[in-house]
Amino acid sequence: MNDGTRDTSVPVARGDRLDSVTQAFVAHRNLLFTVAYEMLGSAADAEDVLQETWLRWVGVDPDTVRDQRAYLVRITTRQALSHLRTLGRRKESYVGPWLPEPLLTAPDVAEDVELAGSVSMAMLLVLETLTPTERAVFVLREVFDLAYDEIAEAVEKSPAAVRQIAHRARTHVAARRPRGVTSAAETRRTVEAFQRAVETGDLQRLLDVLAPDVVLLTDGGGVVRAASAPVVGADQVARVLGRIAAAMSLKPTQVNGDPALIVRLGGEIDTVMAMRIDDGLITGLYAVRNPEKLSHLERETILRR
C-alpha cells in the first residue's frame, strides 16, 4: 500500500488522495478482516480478500463515496462470496473433518458476547451449513447489524429477497447454535480441571468434565495424524485424550473468543484444542493439527464489529 514516502514526480493532489484512501482502508481493516473471516472461516483466505478489496478500493475516488465503511464492507463481501464458493470446492476433497482456522484472540473479544459468539469454532461450524449467500446475509445482519438495503447492495439481491434470506438463515442457525451459558469463573475451573486431567492421564477426572454426548473433531488435513471421523461420547473422547504424550506441554489461552489449550511438542505448536463449554461441562472439542492452519497462533488477531 503506502510506504510513507512521496514520489515528487507525482502531483501533490494525487499523493493526498492516496493518503486519504489508505487512511480509510486502515481505519476499517480490522472490521473488514472480521467480516471476511466470519464468512470464510479461514484467516489466509480472509487476508487474500482484504488484498483484493484494497486493489479495488485504491481505484475509487473517496470523494464520490458517501459511506466509506459501507462501501468497503460491500467490496469485501463480494470478494468473500467469490472465495467462499472456491473454498467449498476445496472442502469437498479435504481429508477428514474440516475445522475453521483458529485465531489467537485478545480477552476483549471474549468480553464482547455477540462477537465471541459469532467467531467461536462452534458457531463457525454452524455457519458452514448455510449457503454462501445465506451466510453473507446472516453475518452482515446479525453480527454487524447492517441495514437490509446495504446488505442487498453487497449480495446483489433486492431488499425484499434479503429479508427472506435473513429470516431463513436466522431460523436455521437458531436451531443449531450453542445454547448453554457458563460463567467466567466456572469456565476457568472447567478448563483447569480438564488440563490437569489430560496432563496426568486421569481418565476419571476427564469423565468428570466431559458431557456424556461430547464430540471431538480433529483436523489434520491429511498432513498429520488425526481421527477421520468425529469421536462421540465421553468414554471414547477420554480414551483418545488419554493418549496425549506426557512430553507435550499444554498452555491455556483464548482462541476465537473461547477457552482453548495450545499443545506444544518440542517447543513447537502441535495442536490447538478449542472448547465449547455448556453448564460447566465440555460439550465440544475442536482440535486443529493441520500445520497450515496454525500460523495465526503466535500473535493475537484483532477482531472488530
pLDDT digits (tens, 9 = 90+) for 239-277: 999 877 666 899 999 999 999 999 998 889 999 999 999
Which DSSP category does 102 fall into? P
Question: Cβ(30)–Cβ(106) under 8 Å?
Answer: no
Query: Is 305 buried (19+), middle (13-18) or exposed (0-12) by CB count in 10 A?
Result: middle
Its pTM stands at 0.89
What's the angle, vertex CA 103, arms to CA 99 and CA 105, rounded to 5? 140
Q: What is the amino acid identity at position 50?
A: L
| Residue 153 pLDDT | 94
Ramachandran area for residue 176 (φ above 0: left; ψ -120 to 50: alpha; else beta) = alpha
Check whether 103 has a pLDDT greater than 70: yes
β-strands 258-265, 231-232 pairing: unpaired
Q: What is the predicted pLDDT for the residue at 110? A: 81
Q: Which residues of 33-57 are buried (b: 16+ CB within 10 A; e: fewer)?
A: bbbbbbbbbbbebbebbbebbbeeb
The x, y and z cell numbers of residue 271, run together, are 495442536
**Residue 177 pLDDT:** 78
Write down the pLDDT at residue 7. 37
Identify whether the C-beta of residue 44 lies closer than 8 Å to the C-beta of residue 76. no
- What are the tens digits of pLDDT across the range 3-49? 333 333 333 335 566 788 899 999 999 999 999 999 999 999 999 99
Residue 86: its pLDDT value, please?
A: 86
Give the burial class of 29: count Cβ atoms within 10 A of its Cβ; 0-12 exposed, 13-18 middle, 19 or more buried. middle
| 83-111 per-residue burial string, b: 16 or more CB within 10 A, e: under 16 | bbeebeeeeeeeebbbbbbbbbbeeebbe
pLDDT at 168 over 70: yes
Does 135 or 13 have the greater pLDDT score? 135
Q: Where are the beta strands (DSSP E) in the chain?
A: 210-219, 231-232, 249-255, 258-265, 268-278, 281-288
- Can you tell me the mean pLDDT for 159-167? 97
Residue 175 has pLDDT above 70, yes or no: yes
pLDDT grade for 171, boundaries at 50, 70 and 90? very high
Per mean pLDDT, which range of 19-23, 80-84, 99-103, 132-136 is the poorest?
19-23
What does pLDDT average to over the chain?
89
Kindly report, residue by residue over 187-215, the tens digit of the pLDDT: 999 999 999 999 888 899 999 999 999 99
Confidence of residue 101 (pLDDT cuts 50, 70, 90): very high
Those residues with Cβ within 8 angstroms of residue 208's Cβ, 6 or more apart along the chain or in another chain? 193, 197
pLDDT band at residue 232, thresholds of 50, 70 and 90? very high
Confidence bin at 111 (pLDDT 50/70/90): confident
Residue 135: is its pLDDT beyond 60?
A: yes
